[in-house]
Structure 1
């Protein structure tokens, strides 16, 4: 083969050779890619298995999240439903509130209308009755009415000049008779506000006074003049409310009513209506009730504080007595030990003397121990104490007794305190009653003799006008029998003072 043919063959085979080489490389790359793909699939399978394991491990959490999400979705749906229902209920409530306000307003208007109609009807009835009385009695009726008016005016002028003195005394606490036991001064204060509001409303609406003028402006001026004069007197009287002047202030308001109506007669009978007088008297009643209830609550607080002080003092005294008893016990114990030691060494002649001394010391020791136990018991039992029944003939007269209570370890200390310089003579003790519940016994006796209380305004003074026999019977009715009673008061200081006074009078007469 020549060179040309060989070159031509090489040229012809070269593309085939290149194609074969490319095919071989492509096949090799394909195999490599397939190997890589298998590795990827294996890795993917591994990852899938790991994911499945992780999912199985955290499946409860995933389930809980799904459950929670479902609950949240349901809650949102329910909240939306509830909100719609609430909006509907609120709308209904608002509508009901508007209707209620409307009905209340209509009821108030209707009540006011009925009240005005009733007032007009009452005035018509009164006017008709007066006309009938005039027709029947003629001038005698007018004369009687004028006489009554003049009599009231004269009484009012006399009271204004001379003062009210004691002619109109009415106990302030009488205004509390119709009230419940739990009625407080705050309740009375609310009633007082309502009464004052009613008074103000009557003035504003023109129901406080009346006048016979035809001209509107003259009628209005006359009524205002009368009402202002009356209210000025009433306000001045109400400002003087104290613990003992309810009756006087009430009469002062009634006198102001009489005087203003009397002075208003020349101005076409410008006058204060009876209804307005009643309203102001009601205001006075609640002002006095508020004052009295405040005073009662203040006194109760003072009594509680005094009782606390008495108990604290009793505890201090009991503790002091206990310590003294312990000290005395120790001293007696030492004395006993010493006496026993000396007794063991004593001769036959001295033994009797030491034995008597030992017996005496043992008795004193027992007394000291009992005193200490009693003091400790009194300190621990806060309701134990003594109820005492005492009298002071020289200071308060016969058959007047004070029934009180003390928790002192030595109850006579309290009696001595009461007989200090504030009274001219010492108290006599008729009974000293020990009780496991001394406050309850004292309260029961106070209730039993409440009607016989000397001080009707302040029964906490604890003085009662009764007999010692009645007090004794009341105590025995509680099953308390073992009590020593002194039925007759000695009143030694008083009786000696009386005797000395008689001697001095006789000497002066001689």
Structure 2
């Protein structure tokens, strides 16, 4: 059919080109003739003008007029013929175009008839086989999907997924509970991969594996649901629920030739429960400890303000006493012997009071200088500064996160992630020791007050632990806004519809609107949980802004 259409179209094009070429030739000839006649007429007019001077020559004048009239008549006749030829050629071209279109329609109808006839004959010859051939692509996809379902996607789906327990193990990895919880989780995964999590009496390998996978999947589903409710005070109840799930799953597995969860696998999952409960208790204690530290810092802040007020009052009192002493000394110089005794006694009293005021001021200053407690923070900003770049700073704020939020203001494109908040009795000394230890890793080799270091977070943790300080560490940076921005950038690059939706939403946003909190963002399908399918990770440096930093 395609060949017939192409051939018909080619014939029509050739005919049209030929007609247009003939019209062009005739038109050119007519125009040339008209031009020649126009030239002749001009020449005759010039000649007539020249001869008009010789009015005495009547025969020449008459002849010239006759020639002029004849030339004008010939010119008009040529123009008429040219117009007629152009009109005739245009009509013929139009007729040919109509005939060509009719021929093309006829060719298309004829081609469709040929194709339909061929399909009909093919169906008569091949029957249902031809119909199946037309659906071969869809059948191929269906077969592939069925193969995946039958053969499975491997045993990875049977392994307990990463959950809050894994996060708990990471957060408290520096404690015995965190270490043991992580070990229990690894042991659970290993037993599933090694096919030791369950047993079965089937002899045929495939049936045996299928039955074992069935009971392991059922048991893990129940246990994961139970472990998601773990608290520091409900471990006993949840342990019994796990044991009951073990009993029921093994009972149902009897129909599959005694398919059952192994006692060792049960013990491993109960270990997860026990150490998770301990970690939850540590989490509660840590929260209480943080509350106590905040309370302590609050009291120290109040004491500092009291010290400053006491120093100010003492300085004011000293000034008053010195002026009083100067006045007394002036009066002594002009007083009589009896009055001198009186003024000297007053001067002695004022001296004692001045000494007491100076001691009070010095004592307040000394106590204020002893207030060095605070937090040393380790933070990063992958989107702004790249991987493995950390800021090591300190703050005496009651809530150290307030200082970090200030650092992540509009001067940097993304928020900071907090890797550690380390409370210290002498925070300035700890910060200084860390800065000196990592001096070769310092990013800014000119301004040492820019406290950014290119170093592995594990090395920072090791150095802090050498001081015997215990802190909660987040080893991996969340960098949520940065990673979501990269995913959005990729999505709008691949999908024009999402690009347009995102641009329209951005244009409607007010300057103070945030991405995550925008109703428009949700409607357009650009939030992390809608449309772009941004994953949620688990986890929390900035230029100081000037040569002197705020240690408040």
Report the TM-score, using the length of structure 1 for normalisation.
0.32
The structure where helix makes up a greater share of residues is: 1
Larger-Rg structure? 1
